[in-house]
């Protein structure tokens, strides 16, 4: 059992991430709200509870690392980083704008707190392996988190990496699969069947924990349990694309499309209402 206040606080933070996602993508006029909203609860648990990091020292060698392999969810990552204090939250308004540093996809050279540049799908887990091996070589106890999309499971490199991580017994590597079931062209199972997904990972030598990726308690429990395993762990987080905004939930069209003026107001009012309900 987790502290009720903690859970409430992480839910609040997740809602705030969602509001920043909607606001920044709306202002940018482009971006990926659906897959950003689906990982808001996971990012909240990681950045505001689970991860060891220091926003004042983004390159701290002992910090836990996070690789957002599904780099198009950058708006959610940027929100979590800004809320953590890596840069002012006002900067979120300048997402994707010429001359500003918040690139459409994460760029480690420009954005403090971004541990790896991503955007081309399928590459993040390999990078996470390199980071995890470096941790072992240097006898450091940091952990490496990699957030994967289920669409990018189509990429062959993910499976090269899956084999490699278990081969090297990387118990300091935790992958979180955002299993929202949608990719640009349709349902993941219709485009390229991925099931039985958890058994694929188990067959590659991973421990798999299945959770509801919007349930803070389940996320915290899974991260805690992953810590105790001696194999790399995949947390299979079943999520809803567009979670938190009624007309974006389960919607294909909001994979890479910003809300219109009207939709923006509706989305913000829904999230504000959720916030009020949470605060009781």
Partner 1 sequence: MVSAKITDKMRNLRDGYSSALIKLGYENENIVVLDADLALSTKTKRFGTIFPDRFFDCGISEANMMGMAAGLATCGKIAFASSFAVFATGRCYDQIRQSIAYPQLNVKIVATHAGISVGGDGASHQMLEDMALMRALPNMRVIAPADATEVEDVIPKIASEPGPFYVRMGRADAPVIFVRHNKFKIGKAKLLRRGSDVTIISTGTMTAEALKAYDLLKKEGIEARVIHMPTVKPIDKKAVIKAARETGLIITCEEHSVIGGLGGAVSRAMSEEPVPMRRIGVNDVFGESGDAMELVKKYGLSADNIAKNAKDMLKKKKE
CB of 89 or CB of 133, closer to partner 1: 133
Cis omega (within 30 of 0) on the bond before 42?
no
| Two tokens, residue 198 | 């958890």
> Is residue 163 near partner 1 by the rule CB under 8 A?
yes
Specify the stretch interacting with partner 1 by CB under 8 A; choose among 28-36, 38-46, 105-113, 206-214: 105-113
180 binds partner 1 (CB under 8 A): no
Based on the shown chain and the rule CB under 8 A, indicate whether residue 117 belongs to the binding site for partner 1: yes
What's the min distance (Å) between Cβ of 96 and partner 1? 17
**DSSP state, residue 104:** S
* Site of tokens 């509870």: 49
Could you count the other beta carbons within 10 Å of the beta carbon of residue 179? 22
Q: In angstroms, what is the minimal distance from the CB of 134 to partner 1? A: 3
Is position 34 an interface residue for partner 1 (rule: CB under 8 A)? no
Residue 116 lies near partner 1 (rule: CB under 8 A): yes
**Rounded distance between C-alpha atoms, residue 246 and residue 2, angstroms:** 28
Q: Which residues pair with 238 in a beta bridge?
A: 179, 212
| Stretch touching partner 1 by CB under 8 A, among 12-20, 77-85, 161-169, 244-252 | 161-169
DSSP secondary structure of 220-258:
HHHHHHHHH-SS-EEEEEE--TTTTSTTTTT-STTSS--
CB of 108 to partner 1, least distance (A): 5
From 29, 30, 57, 61, residue interacting with partner 1 (rule: CB under 8 A): 61
Could you say which of 123, 233, 239, 263 contacts partner 1 (CB under 8 A)?
Answer: 123
Among 145, 134, 136, CA closest to 222: 145
CB of 113 to partner 1, least distance (A): 13
HSE of 61, CA atoms in CB hemisphere, 13 A: 7
Residues 6+ apart with CB under 8 A from 212: 218, 237, 238
Query: Under the criterion CB under 8 A, does residue 164 sit at the interface with partner 1?
Result: yes
For residue 244, state whether it binds partner 1 (rule: CB under 8 A).
no
Stretch that binds partner 1, among 9-17, 81-89, 159-167, 174-182 (CB under 8 A): 159-167
Site string (125-154) toward partner 1, x via CB under 8 A: xxxxxxxxxxx-xx----------------
Q: Which pair of tokens denotes residue 23?
A: 């606001």
Among 9, 54, 154, 160, which residue sits at the site for partner 1 (rule: CB under 8 A)? Answer: 160
What one-character-per-residue DSSP string does 145-186 give?
Answer: EEEEESGGGGSHHHHHHHHHHHHTT-TTEEEEEEE--EETTE
Q: How far is the CB of 264 from partner 1 (least distance, A)?
A: 31
Q: Is 45 in the site for partner 1 (CB under 8 A)?
A: no
Residues 6+ apart with CB under 8 A from 216: 2, 7, 10, 11, 14, 41, 44, 45
Q: Which residues bind partner 1 (CB under 8 A)?
A: 61, 65, 67, 107-109, 115-120, 122-135, 137-138, 156-157, 160-161, 163-164
């Amino acid at each position: 059992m987790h502290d009720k206040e903690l859970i409430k606080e992480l839910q609040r933070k997740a809602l705030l991430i969602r509001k920043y996602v909607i606001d920044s993508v709306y202002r940018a006029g482009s971006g990926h709200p659906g897959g950003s909203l689906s990982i808001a609860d996971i990012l909240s648990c990681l950045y505001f509870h689970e991860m060891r990091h220091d926003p004042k020292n983004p390159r701290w060698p002992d910090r836990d690392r996070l690789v957002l392999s599904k780099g198009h969810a950058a708006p959610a990552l940027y929100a979590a980083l800004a809320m953590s204090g890596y840069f002012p939250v006002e900067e979120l308004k300048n997402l994707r704008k010429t001359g500003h540093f918040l690139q459409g996809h994460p760029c480690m050279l420009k954005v403090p707190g971004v541990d790896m540049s991503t955007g081309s799908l399928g590459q993040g887990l390999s990078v996470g392996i390199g980071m995890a091996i470096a941790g072992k070589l240097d006898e450091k106890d940091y952990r490496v988190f990699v957030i994967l999309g289920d669409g990018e499971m189509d990429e062959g490199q993910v499976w090269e990496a899956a084999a490699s991580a278990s081969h090297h017994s990387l118990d300091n590597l935790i992958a979180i699969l955002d299993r929202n079931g949608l990719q640009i062209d349709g349902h993941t199972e219709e485009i390229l069947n991925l099931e039985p997904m958890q058994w694929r990972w188990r067959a590659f030598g991973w421990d798999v924990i299945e959770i509801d990726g919007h349930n803070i308690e389940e996320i915290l429990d899974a991260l805690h349990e992953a810590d105790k395993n001696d194999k790399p762990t995949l947390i299979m987080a079943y999520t809803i694309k567009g979670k938190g905004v009624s007309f974006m939930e389960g919607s294909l069209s909001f994979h890479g499309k910003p809300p219109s003026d009207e939709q923006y107001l509706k989305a913000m009012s829904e999230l504000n209402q959720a916030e009020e309900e949470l605060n009781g």
